[in-house]
Structure 1
Amino acid sequence: MGSRNLVVSYQQQPRGEAKQKAFAPADGRNRRVLQDIGNLVNDRVSLQGKKPITEVVDSVVARNVRAPAATKVPAAAIKKVNEKHRPEDVIVISSEETEKSKPVSRVPRKEVKTLTSILTARSKAACGKPEDTLVEIDAADVNNELAVVEYVDDMYEFYKLTEVDSRVHDYLQFQPDINAKMRSILVDWLIDVHRKFLLMPETLYLTINIVDRFLALKLVPRRELQLVGISSMLIACKYEEIWAPEVNDFVRISDNAYIREQVLAMEKEILGKLEWYLTVPTPYVFLVRYIKASIPSDEETENLVFFLSELGLMQYPVVVKYGPSKIAASAVYAARCTLDKIPFWTETLKHHTGYTEDMLRDCAKLLVHFHTAAAESKLKAVYKKFSSADRGAVALLTPAREAFHLNRHEKVLVTFG
């Protein structure tokens, strides 16, 4: 009611006066900072000399109800109007100085889930994966650009699809002058050379892959088997290392059994047979990922996993029967069994490897068997390497024979599939 009466009062003003006020030129020198709008507050008086709200209400009500001049508005009506327009309900626009002095209360922002997180959660729920048992292994590497967290899952999915292209199949049946024992002797010597040159672990795994793939394509006489080994390591060093050893270094470490020209000629022949296809997913590619998924992961677990995987790479039946990803996953599984980490196989490992515990038992049993026989084997390069203090002496740990029901002198037979 009060606001409508004020509007009526404004319309009753003379048109000329209202128009003059509306189009009056602004005096820049008399401009003032916008102060509080308090024309409806009873206890405030306008700085422009206007009347208080009580007197305004008296005059407006008197005109609208057409009461006699002597008639006054009851005190109860004025009190009702004053209560309706309490200072608390008035919107105050303060000057810049006033705003700086008063603390600004902000409404807390609600946490909104992104579409990606919602779709990921729904996808996991649809696949039946227990989210509470899965650990986000890449959470700590979100800000690490080298970890490529956005693409790492797609990369390993691609590795799993392409590992078949570089997988080694049974080739010794076509090699009349080479057998599995000779291959083991060569790999054992290459592991020793790799350690003396202080090379990267990627170099060793790529070297063994190049040797096996070349032997699967070319008949090699026994006298050239070591030449194939050093030439393959030379290629792997050029691919993986920052400072690769020179050709003469490989000639000297092979006790000058070959000359420099022979090494370069074999290097060229190997690259030609393999068609320069060197970017292959070796077991090492999967090992680093699966070790990360083995939570909790420590240095002892990592050393033991690499020890078991290198024992497996020395054995021709393991390389032929199982792919790189399964060898890596089996090494992690056997290591967890050896260290008695319960559970032996977690949902996180199952999610990232794609293998169940039953799928890995056969290969892991072979690795545990090789661990049992490592101390008594004549080929001790791997055993000595991981018996040192810098490798945590993991080769001296008790093998997990009970987990796989293995006797100490039990022989494990491998059949090729």
Structure 2
Amino acid sequence: MQKMLSSQHVLPPDLLSVKIKVKGVSMSFQKEDACNSLGIADIDSDSKDPQDCSQYAPEIYKHMLVTELDHRAPANYMETLQSDVTANMRGILIDWLIEVAEEYKLVPDTLYLTVNLIDRSLSQIYIEKQRLQLLGVTCMLIASKYEEILAPQVEEFCFITDNTYKREEVLKMERQVVDMMHFNLSVPTTKTFLRRFIQAAQTSYKDPCLELEYLANYLAELTLVEYDFIKFLPSLIAASAVFLARWTLNQSVHPWNPTLEHYTNYRAPELRSTVLALEDLQLNISRCPLNAIREKYRLQKFKSVADLSSPERVQSLFE
């Protein structure tokens, strides 16, 4: 759980809304007690799950929207630092790690943090291609220790590489990575925001819509293997995944509403570029051969959402 807002980030009680600017990004936050008058559903008042921390959730997520700017890799690190490793190699590595995560039944947060650590590491140190897999399993080891109740052992990560790397090599790389990260592993990822945004989207339904949850998660996970999506903030990807999921499931109603705008802090036009890029992934316009995510979400337990698509392109909503 992210640490709470510092005093300078707490919203003034006497204001209906406040706009802040952090590193050139403008964000507006509205007071929670103004929700009802604007037709915005209160998604925290009826929460029965103590893990939702509903009493503090608004402040926590506002804090995350600010701090997500500090924990992302530069969007051009592959061109400026890496000469032996390519974006395609990165995609192949992550596609394989998705299969590893499924094999060991790791939680989604572990996978997202793994990718975050890989990108942050590759943006800081030069890696030869024969050591890229070592970096990948090491980042998953670190993420597992942080997110899992029972993390796989070092030896298991050596085993899945056919013992290409020894235990000592993995541990040495682990020390190097956590040192680069300054042990800062509590970072907002797309999955962090997606939980909140799906919760907001579910207020449109009488009963929780599992297809919406699975489809939004599927669309968000598709971006993990795509180097080009590093340029988008995690919260922006999460909001766009919800937008496109709602459009895919129902074209008769606009996928965005005041509740989603309030909790995501994004207006529909601000999602345009990301939603269109995400739809290209959904339709596999580039014929990407990396299919770990698609095969995962074709399973019946996820209601085969990987096979869903809208008969009408989402571009029409932005014209």
Q: Kindly tell me: are residues 400 and 120 of structure 1, through their superposed partners in 2, closer, same or farther at Cα, counting changes over 3 Å? A: farther
* Amino acid paired to 2:268: E
Residue 398 (structure 1) shift: 2.0
Q: Kindly tell me: are residues 304 and 125 of structure 1, through their superposed partners in 2, closer, same or farther at Cα, counting changes over 3 Å? A: closer
Q: Does 1:313 align with 2:187?
A: no
Q: Does 1:323 align with 2:233?
A: yes
Q: Does 1:366 align with 2:277?
A: yes
Residue 145 (structure 1) shift: 3.2
Residue 181 (structure 1) shift: 0.7
Q: Does 1:231 align with 2:138?
A: yes
Q: Tell me if structure 2 keeps the 8 A contact 1:368–1:400.
A: no
Distance 1:288 1:243 in 2: 23
Distance 2:304 2:286 in 1: 13
Distance 2:217 2:14 in 1: 33
* Amino acid paired to 1:221: E
Q: Which runs of 5+ in 2 are unaligned?
A: 1-12, 18-29
Residue 147 (structure 1) shift: 2.2
Distance 2:249 2:32 in 1: 35
Q: Tell me if structure 2 keeps the 8 A contact 1:374–1:380.
A: no
* Match in the other structure for 1:261: 168
CA displacement, residues 255-298 of structure 1 (integer Å, 9 cap, x when unaligned):
22211111111111111111111011111110000000003341
Q: Does 1:158 align with 2:69?
A: no
Aligned pairs for 1:206-285 within 5 A:
206-285=113-192
Q: Tell me if structure 1 keeps the 8 A contact 2:35–2:41.
A: no
TM-score by length of 1: 0.65
Q: Kindly tell me: are residues 327 and 400 of structure 1, through their superposed partners in 2, closer, same or farther at Cα, counting changes over 3 Å? A: farther
* Amino acid paired to 1:185: I
Q: Does 1:138 align with 2:44?
A: yes
Q: Which runs of 5+ in 1 are unaligned?
A: 1-118, 407-417
Q: Secondary structure at the match of 1:131?
A: helix
Q: Tell me if structure 1 keeps the 8 A contact 2:244–2:314.
A: no
* Amino acid paired to 1:248: E
Residue 400 (structure 1) shift: 6.0
Q: CA RMSD, aligned part only?
A: 2.4
* Match in the other structure for 1:339: 249
Distance 2:16 2:114 in 1: 43
Distance 2:122 2:135 in 1: 9
* Amino acid paired to 1:202: D
Residue 375 (structure 1) shift: 10
Q: Secondary structure at the match of 1:279?
A: coil
Q: Secondary structure at the match of 1:373?
A: coil
* Amino acid paired to 1:214: S
Higher relative contact order structure (alpha carbons within 8 Å, sequence separation ≥ 6): 2
Seq. identity, %: 37
Q: Tell me if structure 1 keeps the 8 A contact 2:158–2:165.
A: yes
Q: Kindly tell me: are residues 221 and 138 of structure 1, through their superposed partners in 2, closer, same or farther at Cα, counting changes over 3 Å? A: same
CA displacement, residues 357-402 of structure 1 (integer Å, 9 cap, x when unaligned):
0000110111111111189531110110000111110001124652
* Match in the other structure for 1:403: 314
Q: Tell me if structure 1 keeps the 8 A contact 2:44–2:55.
A: no
Q: Does 1:377 align with 2:288?
A: yes
* Amino acid paired to 1:137: I
Distance 1:187 1:197 in 2: 15
* Match in the other structure for 1:180: 87
* Amino acid paired to 1:149: S
Distance 1:403 1:367 in 2: 10
TM-score by length of 2: 0.84
CA displacement, residues 119-158 of structure 1 (integer Å, 9 cap, x when unaligned):
79977799986725211111221x5433222210000010
Distance 1:126 1:244 in 2: 38
Instruction: Select which of 349, 352, 366 maps to 2:263.
Output: 352
